[in-house]
Structure 1
């Protein structure tokens, strides 16, 4: 093989390698920028804001979340488990009328247990939240808000304690993630399971459902 042919082969190989590297860099750039923004939606904007507008730092954090939790396999939820969780959520909603703080704490604990059963990390709340943000980016903030309200110090200053309206709003927003976690693996809501408890509820009697309370019906916390 002549020297000229060898040089030509080396040049062609170098061009091919350069083209592959350029393609990979562009793909990685798309994932790091527009891809992450498309995947995380409002979670992307919140992360950028938390990094004081530094998109590079925010994208590095989000990319690291995907690296750690993107391959997580969600475990299926048995129908009886789904019914049990839905009954507990309904009970928390009913409890809110008389005990808003306790109801929010119940809902926070319920989502933690439910996410564990679906295969999300069990341990540090931050790890669970990161994993949930990868797979439920559009619903995770409701859980974040609920957890913050549930763990606010009861003996703190009036400004640091969430009021009844904030407790109510956090529970309403967190229900979107609860619905996702009790749905099927594609995120579709499973058919609602009707549960009966001792004593007729207002919903069973045809009255206003417990969770459809107006603000004036909730006792102050």
Structure 2
């Protein structure tokens, strides 16, 4: 075989090897993305957006969260503590009519304590939210929303509708953390039945704000 032919064969082999390497890398990246998307759900898109569309950087952050918090040991609430949280949440919703800002602040603090009592980190909000995103990726955004709304309310920047939406979106997160152990479905937090058949002025305000009873018996 001539020297020219050998050079051509070598070049072709290098090109083929490079193409195969690229294909393998892309395939690995694709599997990596699918695994992260499946585990984190909406958290995946949020992380990519926070990294200005840089998917590899988002992948690294999410994988670091998994490595750090996947084996975190958490436990369910005792029956007594669970009942206490359900009552506190109901009290916060009643407070919303009188003071949306205080209700949101109360709800934010309640969720932080609830997460702590379930066994999640409590040294900082950022660490707690990161750990929760590994175990409750589908609803942790509700915690972030009410936390951010509470901060905006302290600065006088949040209107009533923003605060109402924050509490509405935080409810699934609350239900997820407060539900009994081995409970297959999201628990619908019970709301006390009205004492009379007529709506009070406070009840009317609740319905106007969209905080009335849901079809399944919950509120907010």
Is the structural similarity TM-score above 0.5?
Answer: yes
CA root-mean-square deviation: 2.8
Higher relative contact order (CA 8 A, sep 6+): 1
Q: Which deviations, in whole Å up to 9, do the C-alpha atoms of 1:6-61 show, x marking residues without a partner?
A: xxxxxxxxxxxxxxxxxxx9997566310001111111001101101111000110
Indicate the residue corresponding to 1:113 in structure 2. Answer: 113
Matches within 5 A, 1:164-179: 164-179=160-175
Aligned partners of 2:175 and 2:189 also within 8 Å: no
For residue 194 of structure 2, the aligned residue among 203, 210, 216 is 203
- 1:123 alignment counterpart: 123
Unaligned residue ranges in structure 2 (runs of 5+): 1-24, 212-220
Quote the Cα distance in structure 1 between the aligned partners of 2:94 and 2:60: 42
8 Å CA contact retained: 2:175, 2:186: yes
Partner of 1:215: 209
CA contact (8 A) 2:120 2:132 kept: yes
CA distance in 2, matches of 1:37, 1:52: 17
In structure 2, the partner of 1:6 is: none
TM-score (norm 2): 0.74
What TM-score, normalized by structure 1, do the two folds share? Answer: 0.74
Give the one of 159, 165, 176 matched to 1:163.
159
Runs of at least 4 residues off by over 6 Å: 25-28
Tell me the residue number matched to 1:40: 40
CA contact (8 A) 2:101 2:153 kept: no
Gaps of 5+ in 1: 1-24, 196-201
Give the Cα–Cα distance (whole angstroms) in 2 for the partners of residues 180 and 94 of structure 1: 21
Greater share of helix: 2
Report the number of matched residues: 183
